Amino acid sequence: MAVPQAKVDALAARIAGLSFEREGWLGAARVEALSRLSSMGLPGKRDEYWRYTDPTDLIQPRTATAALFDAGDEPPVFDAIDRITLVFVDGVFDAAASDDPALAGVEITRLSQAPDLHWARDLYGVLEARGQSPVQRPLAALATAFATDGLLIRVTGKAAKPVSLVYRHDSETSDAILHHCVRLDPGAELTLLESGPGAARFTTAMEVEVADGARFHHVRVQGRDHQRRAATHVFARLGAESLFKSFTLTANGVLTRNEVVLELAGDDGVAHVAGAAMGDGAFHHDDTVFITHDAERCESRQVFKKVLKHGAVGVFQGKILVKQGAQKTDGYQISQSLLLDEDCQFLAKPELEIYADDVKCSHGSTSGAIDETALFYLRSRGVPLRSAQALLVLAFLAEAIGEIEDELIVEDIRQRLENWLARHEY
């Protein structure tokens, strides 16, 4: 199908100012990504996959400005976690601000300086390209083609510490495009942390290859900057008996689209994706998830919770595709929103598509207010209104937070949620 002229023009305008690295060992992958991107065009308002989220601000040639944000006395995210920290400022790796990336069990190379790495050559753009069907994700192809920085992380054993990517936002007009590749060798294990807004506009793709028996934990806290915009993509392919667990906390941010595309390619794999989003006022948060079961006895869970008020909008598009032969699939999906007042909106599109006959799949989506009876019960025991509300909001989020395994990280996330609730009147 020919790309409409308006889309061709929009793409030309968007990439006009971007530098394109045709040379080097990733040049071929970038050229292919650009050709994918050209054949799709950028997302448009009328695209089915963008029905609930207006992509305009994510595709326009220059980003809208985003005021810098002061987190006040809230400690940095993951402060209490023993980790190695790698810092990006407006999408540019900052070696001086980062820890030495030497870590037992892990090899970390900066994308822009990497020598030809076989494993990365086999991964860069590959999972993204696979993820373009059956639905197109042009912004991910954009990230593959035009990423100016990123990390190539190879995990050969059990990582001695979590690797923590910190994305600072230092310029009101920064427009960052990153691409990371992570490969976990058979039996390897890594906890990857991501935090911060990244830039005024942050477009990213991360490809994660989880080999047989490997375990990947991912916890992300997107920045509290009110005016930041982000389009993120995680593509992962899971081998046999592997584990993938991802949790994202999003509090604030005028526009966020988080796409996760997972493929369970080996038997007995486990994939969990969860998110908690807190929005007050100008907040549009979109979780778009696509999980493909292409092997036997795999388990997948999607748990997405949103707390909305003052006109905030939450979107969930979640799909479980069970391919023929993916017997004994156990698929679960829940998306819920808690509306703290009457003028917010939750739009959910849960989908199941099943071509195997011996599977267990369930999905549910709800939207509701705080339970007044429970609120009264708590208050009747002496719990003040605000604390009672906070308890109930945290209870609402509990299933999503429960997807994080590390207790210290859970504590960090809970504290941030409590802080957010304390800051926002409702």
Partner 1 sequence: MLEIKNLHVKLEEEDKPILKGVNLTVEAGKVHAIMGPNGSGKSTLSYVLAGREGYAVTEGSATLDGEDLLALEPEERAAAGLFLAFQYPVEIPGVGNMTFLRTAVNAQRKARGEEEMSAGDFLKVVREKAKRLKIDAEMLKRPVNVGFSGGEKKRNEILQMAMLEPKMCILDETDSGLDVDAMKLVSEGVNALRDAGRAFLVITHYQRLLDHIAPDVVHIMADGRIVKTGGPELALEVEKNGYADILAETL
Distance CA(98)–CA(67), nearest Å, equals 24
Under the criterion CB under 8 A, does residue 377 sit at the interface with partner 1? yes
- Name which position in 387, 405, 410, 426 contacts partner 1 (CB under 8 A): 387
Would you state the structure tokens that stand for residue 142, as one six-digit string? Answer: 């954009």
Q: Could you tell me the smallest distance in angstroms from the CB atom of residue 315 to partner 1?
A: 23
Pick from 384, 411, 415, 423 the residue near partner 1 by CB under 8 A. 384
Q: Contact region for partner 1 (CB under 8 A) — 18-26, 266-274, 336-344, 371-379?
A: 371-379
CB closer to partner 1, 160 vs 398: 398
Report whether 210 contacts 243 (CB < 8 A): yes
Q: How many residues bind partner 1 (CB under 8 A)?
A: 24
| DSSP secondary structure letter of residue 49 | G
Sketch the per residue contact string, 389 through 418, with partner 1: x for CB under 8 A, - otherwise: --xx-xxxxxx-------------------
Q: Which two tokens stand for residue 380?
A: 């009747």
Question: Least distance in Å: CB of 24 to partner 1?
Answer: 50
Residue 324: how many other CB atoms lie within 10 Å: 10
**Minimum CB–partner distance for residue 386 and partner 1 (Å):** 10
Q: Are 47 and 126 in contact (CB under 8 A)?
A: no
| Shortest Å distance, C-beta 160 to partner 1 | 32
When the beta carbons of 26 and 308 are compared against partner 1, the nearer one is 308
H or E stretch including 411?
Answer: helix 407-423
**Binding to partner 1 by residue 282, rule CB under 8 A?**
no
Question: 410: closest CA among 419, 420, 400?
Answer: 400
Stretch that binds partner 1, among 79-87, 285-293, 347-355, 380-388 (CB under 8 A): 380-388
Q: Supply the DSSP string of 21-37, one letter for each residue.
A: --SSTTHHHHHHHHHHH
Location of structure tokens 């990006």: 88
Q: Does 160 bind partner 1 (CB under 8 A)?
A: no
Q: x-or-dash pattern for partner 1, window 319-358, by CB under 8 A?
A: ----------------------------------------
Q: From CA 332, how far away is CA 313, in angstroms rounded?
A: 24
Q: Rounded distance, CA 377 to CA 383, Å? A: 9
**Which of 34, 41, 222 shows the shortest CA–CA distance to 128?**
34
The residues of the shown chain that bind partner 1, judged by CB under 8 A, are: 371-374, 376-385, 387-388, 391-392, 394-399
